[in-house]
Every structure is written in C-alpha cells, then in structure tokens.
C-alpha cells in the first residue's frame, strides 16, 4: 500500500509553511491566506540546486561550509559604483555596492524606470555592462524612453523584454553585466513553478535566485529591483522581500507635481533617513543639487503668513518655508487643512497658540502648506508653524532674513532640537541675518562660530510673540 502523501500549506503573505491548514497565519496573523503547495513548488529548492529541510521527516543535508574569521575577511575599498547622480549616490550611502541587492518602490508613474535607465547609462559610461530586464515594457518602448531622456544611448546597455526569470539567467551568462535591473520583480516567474507571476512563491524564489547571483564571491554583481506600492503605500507582495535585500528605497511623488523625493528606509551600507530630491522634467529626472533654494520663495518684500525654518533630512540641512492662511469661518466647525503635516499635529499647534499665545482661533479656518510640497514631520518646524499662524492672524509679516528653529511644548516653552549648530550654519550660508532658537540650544563654544547670523535665544512662546507682533489683550 502506497504511503499517503502529506500536504503542505504556505502563507501567501509571509511564506510561512505548515503541515495542516490554518485559518490565521501564526507568523503574520493574516486570515485566509494559507494555500496548498503542490509537489513541483515544494521541490523548487532542489531544482535550483539548494538543500533544505524535509517537512515530512525532519531530515537535513549537511553542506560544505567555508568559515572565515571576521578579522581576516578582505574587501575591496573601491567596491562602490559611483553613478554620478548626486542625489541617488547620497541616498545609497556613496554609490552602488557591487554585491548588493536594492529594491526601489514607488507608485505607478513616479519615475522608477526613468531613474534606473539613467543609472544604467551612467554605469555603462564607466565601462561596465548593464542588463535591463523588463516584464512591463517591450524593447521598442525602452528604446523610445531612452531616446527621450538620454543624450546618447551607450553600447554597454543590454535590454531584455520578458517575464521569464530563466531567460534573465541566460542573459546574465551571455552579457556578464556588473549591474542587473529587474523591472519589476512582481512580473517575473520561474518555469519550474506552476504558480503565476506575482505570487509570493514566485516573487521570493526569483529574488532568491538573483540574490545568489549578487552575492557570488567569485563574481559579485549589483542588482536593482523595482516594486509597486499598494494603496496603503506598502510594497506589494510579501514583506519578506524587504528583509532579503540590502537597501530599500522609496520614491514619493505626486503625479501632478514635478517634485520627486527618494528616501532609504533600509540601508546596510549607509545611513537611513537620507533623502534625495529630483524634478521630473521632459528629459527625465533632474537632481536638485541645492534643495534649500528650491524650497524657499525668493521675495523682495516679506508677506504675511510665511515663516522659514531649517529641517534636517538625513545628514543634510534644508531650509523649508511654511505658509498659512487664516480666514473667518461661518460654520460651527472651522476647517483645518494641511497638505504637509498631519492633522492631529496641526490641531495641537493651534491649541498651543490659542492657550499659550493668547490668540483664539476657534472661529477661524486654518490652511497650512509648505513650498514645494515638502512633508513637515520633524519637531523642529513647530515654532515656525506657530509663528506663521500668528503672522497670518495679526496680518503682520515676519522680519526679512529670519528663521525660526525649535519645538514648542504644551506649556508654551521653546524646546531644543538636535543638530542645532548644523542648521544654523546652513541658515548663515544662505545669507540669513537672524535666527530665533530655544534657550540653551547652543553651547558656549558654538556661539562664536556665527559671525553674520544673530542667534536670538528665547524661553517662552508668549514673550516671542509679543516681541514680534507687539502686545495685545484680545483679538
């Protein structure tokens, strides 16, 4: 009598496997995502030449492990491929690591393919071969895109229009590329698997094959993957993909605006939190080399409701402009509209201004935005937002050439923020003459480094507002 074949179930979200069906995945706690795995899919590791544990008998196959002492591990000091695209190199930590895998995620139309095609051109100009495999566009479409955004198409760029990962592996052997671009990973599939492209099994197995190619110690290669975002702004498919790769890049974009913001949420070879700024133009993506000038309106005369601050994006300070508009409300519930800040954060700052600044706004509509569409998430912008609101209420512009840097507590006290010296140096570099900061924001030895910038330290919000707008009893 033949032995009964045991079934295996795998979670479509996280890849967790179990011998029996479960309504909820124990790993990711997702409901109704456990699907049966057929024999072909279960043996994919054997097809690809890997050894895994047997779920039926719990037997393992020993491999030939080559162990090295960490102190004796050698690496090449010139292992980075500097693309020449300054904002991209900044986010990556100085360039592309030769044996790394990077995933670039963004919504459709944000400019993922455009950025990677420009990157392929820069790498090819350095004498390296680049393989661009697309499962979304034909070769003629790639050619038309390249002619539009590239001044000259380099001969070192090879393109392949397919959804078969097996063909990609064959192309890698033929072209010997230093950089492999997969656009996008959710459209590729291995022929050894029966599931359709985009399923968790196909996505993880295709990524695993590419990972083994990238990490080959004899011939390391850099691999770039593109991924689509869901409506919740999360990477489509399995979340385990983010754990497998070395770097995760997100491109924020409003399709109606030109600004594109590239940020790293994970980077094994550099700091996270770095941001790169681009403009989407007819010739492709153009790096914004001096973001402070872009996010600041050049005016001859100051206007009401506008305040300037200095935020810190990664290791780089950036001047940001805050604009507010306050109008009389004729409804019981005034509007609170913000394009650059969370609504709860704006409501908190309005409450502080009302209670600690003695400016009632209960019957006023408040609209807040930032120049260039920059997101204001740091605490250092709170003082500038409150001062901007006060300027709009009093209909009095703020002094020209002045920046406001600091947080504001619920008590109305001004609170310090990190990297104050770096922020003030950026303000001084751009020609600002005065900066209002919380009391004690600078050490004694730091005060002498600002010659053309007058640093004014204040302790409480109310005293600062009286100094800027004069005294008042009611509004």
Domain boundaries, the chain: 8-47, 74-288, 294-469
Q: Domain 294-469 - what CATH class?
A: alpha beta
Our CA angle for 241, 247, 252, nearest 5°, is 90
Q: Which residues pair with 310 in a beta bridge?
A: 319
Strand partners, 278: 260, 287
The predicted model scores a pTM of: 0.76
Query: What is the Cα–Cα distance from 66 to 255, expressed in whole angstroms?
Result: 50
Q: pLDDT per position in the chain (475 positions), as tens?
A: 444 455 688 887 777 788 888 888 887 778 888 888 764 444 444 444 443 444 444 555 666 677 878 888 776 655 788 898 989 999 998 899 988 999 998 888 888 899 999 999 999 999 999 999 999 899 999 999 999 999 899 999 999 999 999 999 999 999 999 999 998 888 999 988 888 888 888 888 899 999 999 998 888 899 999 987 776 677 766 677 888 899 999 988 775 678 888 989 889 888 887 889 998 888 889 998 888 888 888 888 889 999 999 999 878 899 999 999 999 999 888 999 998 899 999 999 999 999 999 898 999 999 999 988 888 889 999 999 999 999 999 999 999 999 999 999 999 999 999 999 999 999 999 999 999 999 998 888 887 788 899 999 999 999 999 999 886 544 4
φ and ψ of 112, to 5 deg:
-65, -55
Give alpha helix (H) positions in 232-358: 240-244, 291-294, 343-355
388 CB-contact burial (10 Å; exposed 0-12 / middle 13-18 / buried 19+): buried
Kindly report the CATH class assigned to 74-288. Answer: alpha beta
């Amino acid at each position: 009598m033949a032995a009964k074949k045991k079934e295996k179930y795998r979670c479509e979200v996280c890849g967790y496997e179990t011998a029996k069906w479960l309504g909820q995945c124990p790993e990711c706690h997702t409901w109704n995502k456990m699907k049966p795995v057929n024999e072909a899919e279960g043996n994919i590791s054997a097809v690809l030449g890997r050894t895994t544990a047997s779920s039926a008998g719990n037997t393992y196959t020993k491999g030939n492990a080559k162990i090295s002492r960490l102190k004796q591990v050698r690496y090449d000091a010139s292992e980075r491929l500097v693309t020449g695209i300054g904002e991209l190199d900044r986010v990556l930590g100085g360039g592309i690591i030769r044996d790394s895998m990077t995933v670039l995620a963004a919504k459709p139309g944000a400019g993922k393919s455009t950025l990677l095609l420009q990157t392929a051109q820069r790498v090819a100009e350095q004498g390296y071969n680049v393989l661009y495999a697309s499962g979304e566009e034909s070769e003629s479409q790639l050619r038309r895109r390249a002619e539009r955004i590239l001044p000259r198409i380099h001969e070192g760029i090879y393109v392949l229009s397919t959804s078969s990962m097996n063909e990609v592996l064959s192309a890698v052997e033929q072209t010997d590329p230093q950089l492999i671009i997969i656009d996008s990973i959710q459209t590729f599939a291995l022929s050894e698997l029966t599931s359709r492209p985009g399923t968790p099994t196909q996505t993880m197995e295709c990524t695993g094959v590419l990972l083994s190619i990238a990490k080959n110690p004899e011939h390391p290669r850099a691999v770039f993957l593109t991924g689509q975002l869901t409506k919740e702004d999360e990477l489509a498919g399995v979340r385990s993909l983010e754990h497998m790769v070395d770097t995760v890049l997100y491109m924020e974009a409003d399709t109606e605006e030109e600004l594109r913001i590239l940020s790293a949420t994970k980077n094994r070879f550099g700091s996270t939190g770095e941001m790169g700024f681009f403009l989407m133009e007819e010739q492709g993506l153009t790096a914004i080399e001096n973001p402070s000038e872009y996010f600041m309106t050049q005016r001859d005369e100051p206007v009401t409701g506008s305040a300037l601050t200095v935020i810190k994006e990664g290791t780089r300070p950036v001047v940001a402009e805050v604009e507010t508009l306050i109008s009389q409300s004729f409804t019981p519930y005034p509007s609170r509209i913000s394009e650059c800040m969370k609504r709860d954060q704006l409501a908190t700052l309005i409450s502080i201004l009302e209670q600690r600044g003695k400016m009632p706004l209960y019957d006023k509509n408040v609209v807040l935005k930032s120049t260039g569409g920059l997101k204001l998430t740091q605490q250092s912008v709170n003082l500038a937002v409150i001062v901007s609101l006060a300027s709009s209420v009093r209909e009095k512009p703020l002094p020209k050439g002045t920046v406001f840097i600091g947080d504001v507590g619920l008590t109305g006290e001004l609170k310090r923020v990190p990297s104050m010296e770096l922020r003030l140096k950026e303000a001084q570099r751009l020609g600002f003459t005065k900066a209002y900061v919380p009391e004690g924001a600078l050490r004694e030895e730091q005060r002498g480094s600002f010659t053309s910038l007058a640093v004014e330290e204040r302790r409480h919000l109310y005293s600062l507002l009286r100094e800027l707008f004069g005294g008042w009893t009611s509004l």
